[in-house]
Amino acid sequence: MINENTNNIKFNRLLNLRKYILYFIMYSMFGWIYEVFLEVVVYKWGFSNRGVLFGPYCPVYGVGALIFLFAIYPIIRNKSFGKRLLWILPVFLGCMTVATLLELITSYIMEWTTGSWPWQTYVDYDIHFQGRIALSPSIRFGLGGVFFLYVIQPLFEKITGRMDSRQLSITSITVLGILMVDFIYTVFFRG
């Protein structure tokens, strides 16, 4: 009986890991779409690949979303709609803070590893820190985090909840494989 329970716990953890891999890629792709939308439609700069990798994803958004899911989402998960609404301001502030810190840390890591960071446009914003972070994008990140946690994540949970173990395995392993090939290509072969 104990051995069966241990096996069930291990299976559930593996199942959750597969789901989080898919959440990571879905949010990374949403981030890429968001960045390209801003660049093309809002700022009218024209198209460029906004990700650091070759594919249509910004991994920093996937990392940020996973942090939201582990640190903030448990506050509202499985609560009634009314109770979830009561938490909207703390969720907004939490997402805004987490995303801004992540962006700041990522800018230092990018500068250390590549010599620059790709979003040096914040110097034109009224309230910014070293051009690395700014108040306006931080507010957008907070709003985006609320949208992700209140609207998109429940949808993603329904999608992954309908997938059986085999489908989750195949999809998550395929996604990881694509990301690994892209990472190797970007780091070692792309100029």
Buried b (16+ CB within 10 A) or exposed e, 180-191: eebeeeeeeeee
Contact (CB, 8 A) for 71 and 94: yes
What does the pLDDT look like over 32-53, one tens digit per residue? 998 888 888 887 777 776 677 7
- Total-model pTM: 0.81
Does position 75 have pLDDT exceeding 90, yes or no? yes
Residues 6+ apart with CB under 8 A from 112: none
How many CB atoms neighbour CB 39 within 10 A? 16
Write down the domain spans for the chain.
2-171
Mean pLDDT of 17-25: 94
The pLDDT of residue 52 is 72
Pairwise CA distance, residues 4 & 128, whole Å: 55
Residue 129's DSSP bridge partners are: 133
